[in-house]
Chain A
Amino acid sequence: MATTTSKQNVRRAKRGGLEKQNIKILYLFLVPAVVLTFIFAYLPMFSNYIAFLDYDFNKGWFGFGSEFVGFDNFAKFLTDDKFYKLIGRTLLYSITMMVATFPAPLIFALLLNELRGDRFKKVVQTTSYIPHFVSWVTVAGLFYMFLTVDPTGIINNIRQMFDPAAERISYMQDAKNFLPVLVISEMWKETGWGTILYLAALTSIDPQQYEAAQVDGASRWQRLIYITLPGLVPTMCILLIFSLSGLLATNFDQVFNLQNKMIRMETDTIGVYTYYQGLVSGQYSYSAAVGLFQGVISFILIMATNYTTKRLSNVGII
């Protein structure tokens, strides 16, 4: 029997042929997915409009009975100085995070690829994934422990090993350390995991290219620049689109957990602020407006990035 290719299968499936009978049950198969998507994706999407209300939580479904106030909530935050500080900080955090953490998996994958000995490579890969499998709660716990003045503060212990007179510093109590902590924790947690896609892309580069280049006398460095990197461009573009689209949506989990009471006011990002204003202080409509504002900008960003990368390299996710 000849093996069928996937193309033939797709053609067959389009035709349907024999199977094209009693297809009603197929719609039944789709019911759970449709219902869940409607309830948990579309309903929240629609109820974004409480941003235009003075929402009273105790009144009916989706704010029936609450007063319509138009753009008042938006005006409220757009005229608030604090809000620009918040946006500025969110942008600063996310741009720094992106610039610092985006290249890390790429570099790590390239170094891993140059490593001699498959066994060793495998071990490094396996261990580098491990931090991905812990929660931000644990990561925050680890960072607090290592950066504290207490005897568990390894960083202070190391400093004192070199200079016994050194004063022990409580790093996490100082807002100016927050950004470095975000960057380092993100790198520690996700760099290894982020290499998976790059490593996959690396294996799909034709080995003959390397052989040919070697015959022509290309050095290891030249092969990296002229063969490996261009081969990784599509993967890089896709990952870039994803990270740019999340530019305003700094990781809630991460910021929320790494903050503490002492530095919270100076380290809030839009996401965390929305949480505190909305769910902790009960200003639902105002918070919803802030969230919606952020959502719209993110949407514009993802579309713009997608358009640009599509123009430049023919890669896009839509």
Chain B
Amino acid sequence: MTTIASNRIKRTAGERSFDIFNMLIMIAWSVAAIYPFWYILVMSFNTGADAAAGPIWFFPRVFTLENYMFVFQYDRLHSAFIVTALRCVIGPVLSVIVCMLAAFALSKRFLPGRKALLFFFMIPMFIGGTIISNYVVMSKLDLINNFLVYVLPGAFGFFTMVIMRTHIEELPAELQESAFIDGAGYFRIFVQIIFPLCMPVIAAFAFFAVVGNWLDYYTNLIYVTDRSLSTLQFVLYEIINRAEANTMIDFTKTSGAAARRLMAQKNNTVPTPEVIKMTVMVVVTFPLLFVYPFFQKYFVKGMLTGAVKA
């Protein structure tokens, strides 16, 4: 396409105005995509009293780190962070192992019963359980208020497996054959040949799984009531939708917090529920936004392999 553009010598006035118009739209869209995040960042660094005094647009007016001091002392957020981090590691690892193993086995077209197995995996894509029947099963399996509910149900993904299988099938067959001649079994071939060669696909899906685990709050909402097993998104949900932000401010459970509150009162930097909400939003949202550009290369590729297959 770029060759076409450079070949063109003259652009009509209409085309030029379209180009300018187009560029403006794109700039506007990008700003709209980013500004909300900039805004919560700005607010999280501003004192609550000042934020309540009037509109703030681009920079903190009265800079403070007090909001973060308060938020970081909130012990529920600590445990939520640990739970979320754990599921973001265990979930993807488990998922990649389960899907890769199945993909490898199903890439062997001579495997008896392969078609039936594929059919078995495919049916749930069309017929499934409802929110209630899922809940019943989880509770009968004793998965309510159990960490495993975060990582087990999503471990196998049909589409993921199909894409991995396609990738395995496209590897040169000689690799596996020569390994066989040298006496390697399926397990050894899987671990030493297939796994390393599938790394790009694995990286893409692992990243998707990390994102999915980080953002999910539904599982927590439905199956987990134990507060020590709350995830970050769920804590954020409670802080935004309930009076949680207030309790955070008056929490006096820890002596350090009480002292800090006195100090904040003296300096007139007491956080308000509003800025607390925004600070927590920053803490919960930004980690993913920071890693995302580094993975962009992978997930676009991953999406595309998926799309070609679909």
Contact = CB atoms under 8 A, between A and B. Distances in A.
Interface string A95-117: 00000000000001001111110
Contacts of A4: 172-174
A23 B108 contact: yes
A127 B289 CA distance: 10
Contact of B296 (A13, A126, A210): A126
Interface centre among B19, B97, B131, B215 (most CB of A within 10 A): B131
Given A22-B186, A128-B30, A211-B4, A151 B55 contact: yes
Contact of B218 (A17, A152, A253, A288): A253
B303 A19 contact: no
A200 B302 CA distance: 12
A25 B54 CA distance: 68
A200 B308 CA distance: 9
A9 interface: yes
B147 to A, nearest CB: 16
Nearest to B190: A29
A131 B127 contact: no
A117 B241 CA distance: 44
Which size class do A's interface residues fall under? 35 or more
Interface in B10-61: 15, 18-19, 22-23, 25-27, 29-30, 32-34, 36-37, 39-40, 43, 51-56
A234 to B, nearest CB: 10
Given A30-B105, A116-B5, A111 B33 contact: no
Interface in A183-231: 188, 192, 196-197, 200, 207, 210-211, 214, 220
A14 B155 CA distance: 28
Contacts of A23: 108, 110-112, 186
Interface residues of B, number: 113
A34 B120 contact: yes
Given A29-B104, A138-B284, A252-B218, A287 B131 contact: yes
Interface of A is mostly: helix
Interface of B is mostly: helix
A220 to B, nearest CB: 6
Nearest to A55: B136
B156 interface: yes
B75 interface: no
A74 interface: no
Interface in B258-306: 274, 277-278, 281, 284-285, 288-289, 292-293, 296, 300, 303-304
A36 B304 contact: no
A291 B43 contact: no
B34 A127 contact: yes
A165 interface: no
A165 to B, nearest CB: 16
B233 interface: yes
Interface stretch (A85-93, A141-149, A174-182): A141-149
Contacts of B130: 44, 48, 274, 287-288, 291-292, 294-295
Interface string A1-39: 001101011101111111110110111011011101101
B102 A32 contact: yes
B55 to A, nearest CB: 4
Interface string B191-222: 00000000000000000000100011110011
A279 interface: yes
Contacts of B288: 133-134
A312 interface: no
Contact of B281 (A57, A141, A288): A141
Contact of A33 (B40, B101, B169, B180): B101
Interface centre among A3, A133, A146, A275 (most CB of B within 10 A): A133
B129 interface: yes
B296 A279 contact: no
B307 interface: yes
Contact of B110 (A20, A108, A112, A144): A20
A100 B141 CA distance: 41
Contact of B124 (A41, A192, A275): A41
A64 B106 CA distance: 37
B9 interface: no
Nearest to B39: A154
B128 interface: yes
Contacts of B89: none
B133 A33 contact: no
8 contacts: A45-B124, A55-B136, A152-B43, A274-B132, A278-B131, A278-B135, A279-B135, A295-B127
Given A41-B128, A47-B129, 20 more contacts: A4-B172, A9-B172, A19-B177, A26-B105, A47-B133, A114-B18, A120-B26, A124-B29, A135-B217, A138-B233, A138-B285, A140-B240, A196-B304, A211-B4, A235-B307, A288-B133, A295-B127, A295-B128, A299-B126, A317-B310
Task: List the 5 closest A-B pairs by CB distance, nearest first.
Answer: A44-B129, A291-B130, A41-B124, A16-B110, A33-B102
